Amino acid sequence: MLQPKGKPQAPVRALGAMSGTSLDGVDVAVVETDGITIYGLGETAYREYTPEERKLLSAALGRWPGEPGVLAATEVVQRGHEEIMSGFHGIEIVGFHGQTLAHDPRGRGTHQIGDGAALARALNLPVVWDFRSADVEMGGEGAPLAPFFHFACARWIGAEKPLCFLNLGGVGNLTWVNPQAAAPEDPGALLAFDTGPANAPINDLMQARFGEMYDRDGAIAVQGEVVAGALELFLDDPYFSRIPPKSLDRNAFGDMVELVRELNDADAAATLTGMAAVSVLRGMDHCPSPPERVLVTGGGRKNPVLMEMLTEALDCAVASVESVGLDGDMLEAQAFAHLAVRVARGMATSCPTTTGVKMAVGGGRISKGAQ
């Protein structure tokens, strides 16, 4: 069982779940951790959303509590998580991120749907949820939250020199890690921020023009050319000149598809893919020191066109996280398992160099299971 803060901390089997901005489904993964060290990476599972469920989720994007469509989307998220997570055994705590519908840390805040208390009752397990609100309330961006797990992963793989974890989901985010630091919240240990849009605009284009979820294997983009004029207009956005930490909503660059509206299918896909790559290139300028390598996670690592663009653009090795024995489909779910243990044990989950929060803070609410 989990032990009170201040007593010896034994590792536990934690179950984490992530439903990302790509709206494809729910990733679930087990991590054996004490909140500091990874002792083992366990079972994983995936529950795909049906086309109808994706429509309900997509319709609710950008909505806030009480607005039309939010309740229906919440029911989708709740049902999907309960179904897939009920099949795990020997779990001591759950990390439940929920589904982000809107993210405006400098305005209305951040909105993740999903009821952690109801999930705790359904699973009869303690559930940590609402990970982002405390960070935003203390002046942080509320994202990204995986960096503290990336720090543990760098130790897990035996890294000795600074490296980057690059998550290419709907939005791209970069974590620069110094594995020589004593703890993730220490000065100089981490720098993290959203680089820019990644898969979301490409997916939106594919849905609009082909009725497909994404550009499988970059098959459309590989046939086209990147149009420099659209790329230049994209890079004029003031987001790229902001100093990190900084974060984005999934639809923050919603006009990207409009920028390529007049292009043929192949050139439009290639140009949006180029935008994702150049966002990362711009982001690398902010790293405290050049990384030895960039390890890519998220769906974008499966796009050979995007990976080739990154390899050509960056001055270091670029490889998927599978090259070091990690699972790029499950890294975020694993992160919330790890973070759940940190929250339960009173440890920080974000700090000034990951979200811009005023001081290291531990987010998340804890709901106990049925007794």
Instruction: State whether 32 and 87 are in the same domain.
Output: yes
Can you read off the two tokens belonging to residue 275? Answer: 């935008």
Instruction: State whether 175 and 226 are in the same domain.
Output: yes
Instruction: State whether 103 and 198 are in the same domain.
Output: no
Give the whole-angstrom CA distance, residue 65 versus residue 69: 10
Q: Which residue has the tokens 């489909």?
A: 329
Q: Which residue has the tokens 């997916």?
A: 203
Instruction: State whether 256 and 133 are in the same domain.
Output: no
Q: What is the pLDDT of residue 7?
A: 53
Give the mean pLDDT of the chain: 94
Domain count, the chain: 2
Instruction: State whether 196 and 252 are in the same domain.
Output: yes
Q: What is the pLDDT of residue 371?
A: 59
What length is written for the chain? Answer: 371
Q: What is the pLDDT of residue 6?
A: 45
Which residue range(s) make up the domain with 127? 12-142+332-367
State the CATH number of the domain containing residue 272.
3.30.420.40
Give the whole-angstrom CA distance, residue 362 versus residue 107: 21
Instruction: State whether 132 and 214 are in the same domain.
Output: no
Cα-based angle 147, 154, 346 (whole degrees, multiple of 5): 50
18 assigned to some structural domain: yes
Instruction: State whether 174 and 138 are in the same domain.
Output: no
Is there a contact between 223 and 301 (Cβ–Cβ < 8 Å)? no
Is there a contact between 165 and 150 (Cβ–Cβ < 8 Å)? yes
Task: Using alpha carbons, list the distances in angstroms from residue 233 to 89, 229, 236, 256.
Answer: 51, 6, 5, 10
Instruction: State whether 81 and 204 are in the same domain.
Output: no
Burial of residue 109 (number of CB atoms within 10 Å: 0-12, 13-18, 19+): middle
Q: What is the pLDDT of residue 8?
A: 54
The string of pLDDT tens digits covering residues 20-31 is 877 889 999 999
Is there a contact between 350 and 114 (Cβ–Cβ < 8 Å)? no
Give the whole-angstrom CA distance, residue 262 versus residue 122: 50
Q: What is the pLDDT of residue 253?
A: 83
The string of pLDDT tens digits covering residues 251-286 is 778 778 888 999 999 999 999 999 999 999 999 999
Q: What are phi and psi of 277, to 5 degrees?
A: -70, -45
Instruction: State whether 138 and 177 are in the same domain.
Output: no
How many CB atoms are located within 10 Å of the residue 351 CB?
Answer: 26
Q: What is the pLDDT of residue 170?
A: 86
The low-confidence residues of the chain, meaning pLDDT below 70, are: 1-8, 371
Give the whole-angstrom CA distance, residue 119 versus residue 368: 9
Can you read off the two tokens belonging to residue 164? Answer: 């980057």
Q: What is the pLDDT of residue 1?
A: 39
